[in-house]
Amino acid sequence: MHKAPIVAAMRKYSADKVTPFHTPGHKHGRGAHELLRELLTAEGLRQEVSLMEELDDLHEPHACIMEAQNLAARLWHADDCLFIVNGTTAAVQAMIFGTVQAGDSIMIPRNAHRSVIAGLILSGATPIFLPVEFDAELCLPLNVTTATIERAIKNFPQAKAVLLVSPNYYGVAADLPKIAELVHAAGMTLLVDEAHGAHLPFSDELPPSAIDSGADLAAQSTHKILGSLTQTSMLMIRRGLVDVERVKRAASLLQTTSPNQLLLASLDIARLQMETDGRRLIQAAVDHAKNLRGLIKKIHGLRTFDTVKKFALDATKVTVNVTGLGLTGQEAEEILRRDLRIQCELSDAANLLFLITYADDEQTIAALVDALNRLPQRPQIPCSLSLVPCPLSAATLSPRETFYAPVEVVNLRKAVGRICAEEITFYPPGIPLLMPGEKISAQTIDLIRQTTGRVIGANDPTLATVTVVR
């Protein structure tokens, strides 16, 4: 019989009709403002309690939370699962904090999420930066190749772990089965930021999931593609190479001691939904995405793709190149949102990204196609965006050492040989040219001066100056 243990425990506690003299202050909704009641409903407020014995303890699960996590681990083919209510940011940080420490080296891709740098600051480990492939024709970043991993292992055999982002935001997935073999043969652990891949096990037409591919840890944003509430994620664990108890301690340190029971319940329900109907729902999303691609290919000036050389592709991420209309991705996003009431997931210099989930149907797909057909056409301006070449390299200082080091601001032209104390990224493509702890080269300075786009991470957005370790 299918069940949701956390939800069952919450309902049981609510049904007891106790008079509460405990948190939260709204006390089963009696003191809640009417706007909050409209948001959560009376029943939701009655069940919005935590830290009661019957509702278990996220930090020492022994009852309904433990049962729910075990059910999720089984469904996603993991040995253990941890529910995360501080976002996949906390899950990614727990992967790093729970596996490497000061003095260790860990390989990370250039397009790693900012949570990875935070995890490195917490752990004290030093990053080895992996180059990310870039498709100049489509004007978007791809992923890390198997060949790059082979070269990195040969050049940095002392590394303790490899962290990859797969699939990436655009749905481009690395060859994780082959990479897992290489990483494990070298005695390293494989950590995967799988924020955009919680749905992968539920269709044979999607890339294999990280855990099914042999990853030791995988952080999933259950809310991004599946049906849990925003901020909720799961951390999947494969036993063998990782110290499971250390990973659990790391996750506990990084999570609130007052977890919202509604967030935990939403994870439990999302798992139940996938268990009872996941394959049908996710396959329907795949089919809608395939149909959408076919319709987009008939629209003059638009391009999309369903295969990527050297990589697998999550079909439910539909990237649409709009340069044939003479538009940038950002211009097309603004028109869609302002005039046509369609909101994409993201835009870049050349593309729009649409996420197709189990919630979509023929009506939503038709609305999107209609809106794309109504985009204006202007004189074409070819996309000149290209990936700035970033070598396979190791940081000089760890992000933690850099974080605590005294810093100063110097003229960019005079920063050759200094250690960068900030992140400098141009978006698009969103791949940092400089990371905290890296030594600044003359070549990198030349690249920064030649590159255009929105600057992210830099204290001086004009890049006339740069923050360095004193």
Residue 269 lies in a domain: no
d(CA 53, CA 110): 44
Same domain for 226 and 289, yes or no, is no
Question: Which positions ≥6 away from 465 have C-beta within 8 Å?
Answer: 409, 410, 411, 412, 459
- Residue 426 confidence (pLDDT): 81
Helix axes 261-296, 5-15, angle to 10 degrees: 140
Count of other CB atoms within 10 angstroms of residue 339: 12
Same domain for 360 and 407, yes or no, is no
Same domain for 154 and 291, yes or no, is no
Residue 50 lies in a domain: no
Indicate the pairing of strand 217-220 with strand 134-135.
unpaired
Please name the amino acid found at residue 342: I
Indicate the pairing of strand 351-355 with strand 346-347.
antiparallel
Question: Which positions ≥6 away from 155 have C-beta within 8 Å?
Answer: 392
Please name the amino acid found at residue 77: H
CATH number of the domain where residue 308 is located: 3.90.1150.10
Same domain for 441 and 303, yes or no, is no
Same domain for 231 and 84, yes or no, is yes
Please name the amino acid found at residue 213: S
- Residue 388 confidence (pLDDT): 55
Phi and psi of 201, rounded to 5°?
Answer: -70, -5
Q: How many residues does the chain have?
A: 470
95 close to 242: Cβ distance less than 8 angstroms: no
CA angle 194, 199, 202 (to 5 degrees): 135
Residue 200 lies in a domain: yes
Read out DSSP for 71-94? HHHHHTT-SEEEEESSHHHHHHHH
For residue 388, list its beta bridge partners.
none
CB-count exposure of residue 455 (10 Å: 0-12, 13-18, 19+):
middle
d(CA 250, CA 94): 5
Same domain for 196 and 329, yes or no, is no
130 close to 108: Cβ distance less than 8 angstroms: yes
Residue 422 lies in a domain: yes
Residue 339 lies in a domain: yes
Q: Which of 127, 118, 65, 60 is nearest to 92 (CA)?
A: 118
Question: Which positions ≥6 away from 319 have C-beta within 8 Å?
Answer: 138, 140, 170, 171, 304, 305, 351, 352, 353, 354
Handedness of CA 336, 341, 342, 344 (dihedral sign): positive
d(CA 76, CA 235): 11
Count of other CB atoms within 10 angstroms of residue 380: 12
Q: Helix, strand or coil for residue 103?
A: coil
- Residue 381 confidence (pLDDT): 67
Show the domain range for 408. Answer: 395-469
Residue 107 lies in a domain: yes
Residue 277 lies in a domain: no
Handedness of CA 23, 27, 31, 37 (dihedral sign): positive
Structural domain total, the chain: 3
176 close to 192: Cβ distance less than 8 angstroms: yes
Residue with structure tokens 């394959």? Answer: 279
Q: Which of 373, 408, 435 is the last residue of a domain?
A: 373
Same domain for 286 and 404, yes or no, is no
CATH number of the domain where residue 239 is located: 3.40.640.10
d(CA 96, CA 105): 11
d(CA 125, CA 142): 26
Residue 13 lies in a domain: no
Same domain for 341 and 423, yes or no, is no
Please name the amino acid found at residue 236: M
CATH number of the domain where residue 427 is located: 3.90.100.10
Supply the pTM of this predicted model: 0.93
What are the pLDDT tens digits along the chain (470 aa)?
689 999 999 999 888 888 888 888 899 888 988 998 888 888 888 888 877 888 999 999 999 999 999 999 999 999 999 999 999 999 999 999 999 999 999 999 988 888 999 999 999 999 999 999 988 888 888 999 999 999 999 999 999 999 999 999 999 999 999 999 999 999 999 999 999 999 999 999 999 999 999 999 999 999 999 999 999 999 999 999 999 999 999 999 999 999 999 999 999 999 999 999 999 999 999 999 999 999 999 999 999 999 999 999 999 999 999 999 999 999 999 999 999 999 999 998 899 999 999 999 999 999 999 999 999 999 876 665 555 567 899 999 999 999 999 999 999 999 999 999 999 988 766 778 899 999 999 989 988 888 777 888 899 999 999 999 99
Q: Which of 252, 273, 296 is the last residue of a domain?
A: 252
d(CA 336, CA 290): 21
- Residue 122 confidence (pLDDT): 96
- Residue 305 confidence (pLDDT): 93
Same domain for 314 and 234, yes or no, is no
d(CA 393, CA 146): 17
Same domain for 350 and 443, yes or no, is no
Same domain for 127 and 203, yes or no, is yes
Same domain for 120 and 155, yes or no, is yes
